[in-house]
Amino acid sequence: MRYPEYRPRRLRKNEKLRGMIQETELSVRHLVYPMFVKEMTEKKVPVPSMPDVYQFSIEGLLKEIEEVVDLGIPAILLFGIPAQKDETGTGAYAEKGIVQEATRRIKKLFGEDILVITDVCMCEYTSHGHCGIIRDGYVDNDETIKRLAEIALSHIKAGADMVAPSDMMDGRVRFIRQMLDINSYYNIPIMSYAAKYASCLYNPFRDAAESAPQFGDRRSYQMDVPNQKEALREIGLDIDEGADIIMVKPALFFLDIIALAKDRFNIPIAAYSVSGEYAMIKHTSAKGYIDYKRAVVELATGIKRAGADIIITYFAKDLASWLKENSL
């Protein structure tokens, strides 16, 4: 078909026509809201690099989740910040650790009204800020995955609905799946950060989670940005090891990876729209250079269009509010 017989603008003439043929739809059911809980006396503390994002005490977190539930957001992704850190991140798997205590309180108060997905990593809990046990200046993969399995088990015992290992150690999904199965948690899903790139877009998150590495960087375990085929290998490995959902992170700069994963693998795909994406839009729109709502909606739509089933985003509350008002 070609002009003048075919005129694509015929179906763009008004809102109803555009709506009838819209290919990608956003729904609050597919949103996950990342949250930070910290051992502290203040109810909430703002994160300077991420406007309208906060570190919460457990009490402050519970109050915030009331709004999350009211908006219909089905899940939160919970990150913990302990009062004390050490070389081996023992607070990450402590029975009374910050994530474990927060999870118990959330599930007691909200029950099935909210899904609690817990981040399984060590960077927030280690004094050196790396995602595992350091041996001779290098993250020891096989020692670390043992600890990660303990962390995951401690979260599930506290009531978490799903665990999300974000460390990028080899074999950690298998160790976690085996640990959960041995303890009869057969029905607990694992959402694996399967293709997590060593991106420049994480810095605001590291402010929020207080998890910046104290030496070196994380490129020896997070993925190299130029690599595409490697991402598919990583995803395939995690699926073979027992991941129920795989994640691509970041989302915005890696839409091609989301699309490839959607085409290649028959498994739900999550995309994490990370702190740098959030900060870019927040700070730029505050200057009046872009329209905030349009930018957020375009970002989320692009991620969904690329193939993501789940969008993890700091914009979740705004998106949910707009969807609730039917104003998208």
Annotated active-site positions, please?
196, 249
CA–CA separation, 192 and 247 (whole Å)? 6
CA–CA separation, 98 and 37 (whole Å)? 7
Number of neighbouring beta carbons within 10 Å of residue 308: 26
CA–CA separation, 133 and 87 (whole Å)? 7
CA–CA separation, 184 and 186 (whole Å)? 5
Strands 54-56 and 44-46: antiparallel
Half-sphere exposure at residue 202, Cβ-oriented, CA atoms within 13 angstroms: 19
Bridge partners of 246, per DSSP, are 192, 269
Torsion angle, alpha carbons of 188, 109, 92, 161, to 10: 10
CA–CA separation, 198 and 220 (whole Å)? 9
Half-sphere exposure at residue 129, Cβ-oriented, CA atoms within 13 angstroms: 14
The encoded tokens of residue 254 equal: 């890696």
